[in-house]
Chains A and B, each alone.
Chain A
Amino acid sequence: MKNACERWKDQLRETALTGARTPQFAEHLQTCANCSAELRDLEARRARLDTLLPLVAQGAEPPADFRARVLAAAEAAGKRRRVRRWQAWTLAGAAATAAIVLVVGAVLHRGTTGKIQPEGLAAAQKLAEWRAPSDSLLATPGQEILRTTPKLGESYLNVPMKAVEEE
């Protein structure tokens, strides 16, 4: 008999859960004490499950002041965001101010260089024109020789020393 009931195993659970039973299963139940007992057991379990399952989600309610608390938090977060935005603008403003100060400073600096003292200017010009003494030594006779092709009758060795003396 037990083996014959195996085929009703799933049907028993379906019936316990949904109440639906096929005519064949209803017929079997009328003749099988085993399955009838198991169905009663499964139905009792389903009833317990039906009591307990909703509590898994509905066993608690949000606190009475939940809405007020969320609104306060939202407002505070909004304020923080506004402050952050304000700080960002302030920072951007500070950066812009710094840039302006730099540009104006550079322009003013250039302005002062225009009014540099005459003795300073003379010194700077002298410095720019200054050449190391070795420069004249480097102007070897050979360079001069190679630069000019001697005229007929002139020697390559006829080196004009005038340029060197000018230094």
Chain B
Amino acid sequence: MSTLIARAEAHSPAVGFGERLAENQRRVFQIAYSVLGNSADAEDVAQEAFLRAYQKFDSLREAEKFRAWVNRIVFRLALNRKRGYRRRLERDTAWQSMESPAMVDGAKEAEQQVMLDRLRKEIERLPAKLRSVLLLSLVEEMDAADVGVVLGIPAGTVRSRVHTARKLLLEVMQ
């Protein structure tokens, strides 16, 4: 009887899902934040990624599968949202001046904030291939192999692109 209940509980998506959510939320949020640069959007996109994972949780019960899937989905969702913003910005700049990005919560000092804004702009100017690899590599708990899984490239390629990106940034960060 108890095994029957346990089996029923294991089949209920809410049980295993809460656990997976706890394991992945920090990384998933950071992936979104690295692309979008503000907490509100990052939270939105991270939540959307988890809701999608919940909908197909039956095929994502395994921890590794869940992790890889949600990493990829949140990155794609974040890129989509950013693209939408950029399109709107391009459309609106005809009559509206560009707004500076939202204050970054982690940067305590104003000077550091200014530097961080500049760095973000320089990262935006990197070739897309280098930018994606760099942003994902900056997320805690994402090693070269994890980044490679999201982008569909080997870990070695990830490492060499990160190096190239850093070299280019070294040039522009006076």
Contacts and interface: CB of A to CB of B under 8 A. Distances in A.
B112 interface: yes
Interface string A90-107: 000000000000000000
Interface string A52-65: 11111111111100
B130 to A, nearest CB: 13
Interface of B: 13-14, 17-18, 21-22, 25-26, 29-31, 33-34, 37-39, 42-43, 46-47, 50-51, 54-55, 104-107, 112, 115-116, 119-120, 123, 134-135, 138-140, 163, 166-167, 169-171, 173-174
Given A17-B167, A56-B119, A60-B106, A77 B30 contact: no
Interface of A: 13-14, 16-17, 42, 45-46, 48-49, 51-63, 66-67, 69-71, 73-75, 77-78, 81
B170 A16 contact: yes
A59 B14 contact: no
B166 A70 contact: no
A49 B166 contact: yes
B25 A56 contact: no
A63 B105 CA distance: 12
Contacts of A48: 115, 173
A40 to B, nearest CB: 13
A49 B30 contact: no
B54 A59 contact: no
